[in-house]
Amino acid sequence: MATITLGGDPAKTVGELPSKNTVAPSFTLTKSDLSPVSLSDYKGHKVILNIFPSVDTGTCAKSIRQFNQEAAELENTKVLCISKDLPFAQTRFCGAEGIENVDMLSDYKTGEFGRDYGLSFADSAFETLHSRCIVVLDQNGTIVHTEQVAETADEPNYKAALEAIMDA
């Protein structure tokens, strides 16, 4: 379990993020059209997993906007924004914000992604939601960078994630 904070109060996750230099665990999530998508669908691409509690929080929205802007500049790279929000909420947010360069994916059906990646909250007001994390994968699906943001209200280190993708 990782210990992070939510509004300054301690909170635990169900596990630890997968280790660097290991193959990312496979997953199946739901796209905005309610169809399934798997990590294997992104084979051959560099991938940034931008993981967060909900599109309806200010920090989460800011991270989506930031990665949407950055993703437009990245070659052979996909940014996957992952939460447990319903796909309808994700679609509404993207439409209102003009988000076009990231893939919004939902773990609402099973929560397996959050458990398998060790990042779901185990307690606190956000219990079962995803904690704020970044996982960067190279073209072979190997993890080259991870970040578990220590305080949920804080933004991730965009620069570190982007440098990792450039080096991958």
Spatial strand order in the sheet of 36-38: 36-38, 28-30, 103-106, 77-83, 46-51, 133-137, 143-148
CB 10 within 8 A of CB 1: no
Separation CA 95–CA 44 (nearest Å): 28
- For residue 159, report the phi and psi dihedrals to the nearest 5 degrees: -60, -45
Does 81 participate in catalysis according to the annotation? no
Catalytic positions, please?
60
